[in-house]
Structure 1
């Protein structure tokens, strides 16, 4: 009976954290059972020593971006949107952490700020000066803009490639200069979609 209560408590904790459904196997009658392991995302939060408050705040941000982009969560703070990547910063932190490739102690790599110029990526940021959550993609595609207010962008694509920003009616709001170009303080509110090519 004690092990069943423990398993129910584990399942409830997983549901409270919101990292998906935690599978719990019933203990066989008269036997013992080990507790089901937590989902990979809960394990990433634990390995990074996040507080319950940080975990819940990050979960809310990820859920908001999932709703806006229709993407799929593939790590604690990483969303895949049909080949594009959206990395979510813990509210109050300047950069998203690397939970998928480590213990969450380091900032995640940013393809537009590290590596060679003309990396082929277009990157948009939720905050000014290339900080906050960021969204980047390589292949030519039109993407929904998941945030509003002041943020920033970097066009680090191949030479000559310009990105186009579209307003709510589908009209062109702005076209970026060719790479390498950037804007450390750009107002996203009127931008509903971005095509990187």
Structure 2
């Protein structure tokens, strides 16, 4: 009896911390679902929500970090991964009424300090915003794109799985709308 009561209290506390509603928890039937309220507010279908959650989990396995929103992974204060709903051109901002994310790499050649890698061509799909001088895992295959909008003179380096250098970008402001070798890129060091 005491264990069941403590379990109920623990589940309620986790739900409260995650901002979940009782209907969202009951709809899934197996306990709290992280960020369910964001999925409901965005009117995502169950299939879209499940697909997005699976993609976030897959990307976190490569990049690390912690999930801080339905489609956002924070990389220990060193950058973010923003995951697009599969089939959509760009990630959404689930915390904004407009749902539109600002992208520091695409706001023009103002040297935002970021290097951004995109899973799709033409700066589309999911995005990793890199800010610090460290290695970032790349979870994508196939064609994508990138923007180097770091401080003047800074070049990003792409590395293979064996640690050998694959490519060095030009200094900012530089971009590639159709980078065709994400399959060969294991990590990027944006400095």
Whether TM-score is above 0.5 comes out as yes
Which one has the largest radius of gyration? 1
Distance 2:25 2:111 in 1: 47
Q: Which residue of 1 aligns with 2:140?
A: 147
Q: Which residue of 2 aligns with 1:189?
A: 183
CA contact 2:109–2:149 (8 Å) conserved in 1: no
Distance 1:99 1:9 in 2: 19
CA shift, 1:139, in A, is 1.6
Q: 1:140 and 1:8, CA in 2 relative to 1: closer, same or farther beyond 3 A?
A: closer
Q: Gaps (5+ residues) in structure 2?
A: 1-20
Compare 168-177 and 114-123 and name the one that shifted more.
114-123
SS in 1 for 2:132: coil
SS in 1 for 2:101: coil
Q: Which residue of 2 aligns with 1:92?
A: 87
Alignment of 1:38-117 (within 5 A): 39=34, 41-82=35-76, 83-100=78-95, 102-103=96-97, 105-114=98-107, 117=110
Out of 107, 111, 121, the residue aligned to residue 118 of structure 1 is 111
Q: Which residue of 2 aligns with 1:167?
A: 160
CA shift, 1:168, in A, is 1.3
CA contact 2:158–2:186 (8 Å) conserved in 1: yes
Q: Which residue of 2 aligns with 1:131?
A: 124
Distance 1:61 1:165 in 2: 23
TM-score, scaled to structure 1: 0.79
CA shift, 1:107, in A, is 2.4
CA shift, 1:109, in A, is 1.3
Distance 2:186 2:85 in 1: 24
CA contact 1:72–1:79 (8 Å) conserved in 2: yes
Distance 1:85 1:54 in 2: 21
Q: Which residue of 2 aligns with 1:28?
A: none
Distance 1:116 1:51 in 2: 37
SS in 2 for 1:182: strand
RMSD across aligned positions (CA): 2.2
CA contact 2:109–2:173 (8 Å) conserved in 1: no
Q: Gaps (5+ residues) in structure 1?
A: 1-6, 23-37
Instruction: Pick the structure with more helix per residue.
Output: 2
